[in-house]
Amino acid sequence: MLVCTYISLLYVMRIVECYSSGRVTPSCTDMTPRHRDISAQQTASPYLVISDQTSYKGGDEITVTLKADSTLFRGFMLQAHEVGGSDPIGSFTVTDVQAQILSCNGMPNSVTHTSNVDKTKIQGLWKAPQSGNLKDIEFRATFVQTFSTYWLGVSSSRVIYSGRSDPTISAGLNTTSRPTAPNPVAISRGNCGSGKVCLSQPSGCDPASDANCYFMSAETSSNSSDIHFEMSGSSEGYIAMGFSNDRMMGNDDIYICGLDSTSAVQVQHAYSKGRFAPEILPLGNISNIQSSFLNGVISCSFTSRNPITTQRSATVNSLYYLMFAYGPSNNGKIQFHRSTFVSEREVDLSHPQTVGTNLPHIVKAHGALMLIAWMTTGSLGMLIARYLKAVTKGTVCCGKDLWFTAHVFLMSLSVAATIIAFILIFSHVRGWSGGAHPVLGCLVMILAFIQPLAAVFRCGPDHSWRFIFNWAHALNAVAIKFLAVAAIFTGLSIIDRTSDMWVLKVMGGFVGWEALLYLLQDLHFRLCQKDAVEGIPQLMKMEVILLILFSVGNLPFLVAVLIGIGMS
């Protein structure tokens, strides 16, 4: 039996090693990882497949990029297919050390990983067949995040075969569509603040030189009601700008530049109703449309004489918050946006200026309170209950044991801060937004509220069922801690727009530091347990030293993350 077990383990290890090396020939036909009975994810992929050309002819070479949005990937498989087809076509070459050619059916028509190292970006060069019955193609990829988590059939935009007439633009959308330009539309920061209103993310970026710049501008004509709009940004589906009476989505006038099923860029006029898909409107009085989609960047500019219509007004001279959003699309229909940002104040489009995108103070206050509660007071309260209880018995403060008084005080502060933060953000949002962050925040709020409530009705110390409360109280505290840290990470990922995501990295450093100190406390506590009665003064001294070290070490992490929130 033992021999069989070893053989089975060696077999599994070989399979895992084979997968990590990228030699996945059995996956050639359907691009599905052979990870036992694990199914592909059904959620939107956090990864992109980007082609640097929107059309091709026989023998052309196209650079294809696999790109991670925020979640890194370990494994991948890339092929080119005719739209609607199942067999890989063409051939690939690679220069990236993290990529290799995989021959399927004897042809170098697939690209896979060389190791399971985390990746953010992979490029391959695809060469079209010289002849044959060529058709429109798309590049398809499988992305593997972990052994049990992968996305299948992530596709690029359609690449048109230029050996035939231009495809008919799909009907059914109330839009004006233009063929994608061979060169990007010339959009830059030039004249921002002096001739036009500009909003960008990151602040001050220039779309003319930065492919990661999300930018919009509005320039009002001095002698007419014409407004010339520009917008640009990296997206696999669409970019959109909106005009609103508040910082919330709903009752907003918006313009969308998105890709249709043929990768042509369309300009759409719409009205946002908030949580539902926007209502597409007649394009109206729009002229001078220019658009392009190149290297994954959508750019468009146009002149509008349409009045800006919101719930409050329908004039071009009103003050509006400017909004920018981007996300995926499906055959020309926009999907839920991946990200959005809003101007820090209302803007008069007739007065040229550059406007920032700072977070509202109420959102910053929400984040600061949650950080203070679960990076300092909550952590200290849990440590005191765990490690100082045994060594401070008999030391009384306010008629109770010192450890108990300190624990109750610190945890009460944490719960109060959590409740206030919860109220602040819901009073600002006035509704429910998508994503994991609000779900995690609500769970933290519910469990944090239950914790002191259960403590009030606990049975006495000598009751036979007291151990049930002790275990439940401890497990609930651990659950709150883990959920709070997850909520902080997801919240910071929403607001951290720094180029190297340093705020998230600082938070990661804090988690490592806190885990290290917890381990040191626990190790010392267990080693000294047998001498606790004889050496309580010495034991208490060391516990207090470790507690002070923990507090002092937490402080720079807390200050750094608070500064990051303040700068957001």
Chain centroid, CA 375 distance in Å: 22
In a domain, 167, yes or no: no
Indicate if 340 and 369 belong to the same structural domain.
no
Residues (pLDDT < 50) of the chain are 1-18, 164-182, 313-316, 533-535
Q: What DSSP element (H or E) covers 64?
A: strand 61-68
Paired tokens of 451? 């914790």
Residue 6 has what pLDDT? 43
Indicate if 338 and 380 belong to the same structural domain.
no
Indicate if 405 and 457 belong to the same structural domain.
yes
Residue 14 has what pLDDT? 40
Residue 35 has what pLDDT? 67
Indicate if 348 and 380 belong to the same structural domain.
no
CB neighbours of residue 93 within 10 Å: 13
CATH number at residue 538: 1.20.120
String of DSSP letters for 393-445: TT-EETTEEHHHHHHHHHHHHHHHHHHHHHHHHHHHH-S---SHHHHHHHHHH
Indicate if 143 and 181 belong to the same structural domain.
no
Q: Which residues contact 406 (CB under 8 A, 6 or more apart)?
A: 381, 384, 388, 397
pTM over 0.85, yes/no = no
Provide the number of structural domains found in the chain: 3
Structural contact between residues 448 and 418, judged by C-beta atoms closer than 8 angstroms:
yes
CA-based torsion, 468, 473, 475, 476: positive or negative? positive
Domain region containing 129: 20-161
In a domain, 388, yes or no: yes
Q: How far apart are CA 291 and CA 293, in angstroms?
A: 7
In a domain, 394, yes or no: yes
Indicate if 413 and 498 belong to the same structural domain.
yes
In a domain, 96, yes or no: yes
- Residue 166 has phi, psi (to 5 degrees) of -60, 135
Q: Which of 355, 379, 413 is the last residue of a domain?
A: 355
Indicate if 436 and 306 belong to the same structural domain.
no
Indicate if 345 and 376 belong to the same structural domain.
no
In a domain, 441, yes or no: yes
Q: Which of 302, 329, 355 is the last residue of a domain?
A: 355
Paired tokens of 446? 């519910």
CATH number at residue 308: 2.60.40.1210
Indicate if 150 and 227 belong to the same structural domain.
no
In a domain, 225, yes or no: yes
Q: How far apart are CA 452 and CA 466, in angstroms?
A: 16
Residue 164 has what pLDDT? 46
Residue 223 has what pLDDT? 65
Indicate if 398 and 546 belong to the same structural domain.
yes
Indicate if 463 and 558 belong to the same structural domain.
yes
- Alpha-helical (H) ranges within 104-245 are none
Residue 454 has what pLDDT? 86
In a domain, 169, yes or no: no
Paired tokens of 4? 């069989």
Q: How far apart are CA 139 and CA 119, in angstroms?
A: 19
In a domain, 334, yes or no: yes
Q: How far apart are CA 432 and CA 440, in angstroms?
A: 13
Indicate if 151 and 82 belong to the same structural domain.
yes
Q: Which of 337, 355, 373 is the last residue of a domain?
A: 355
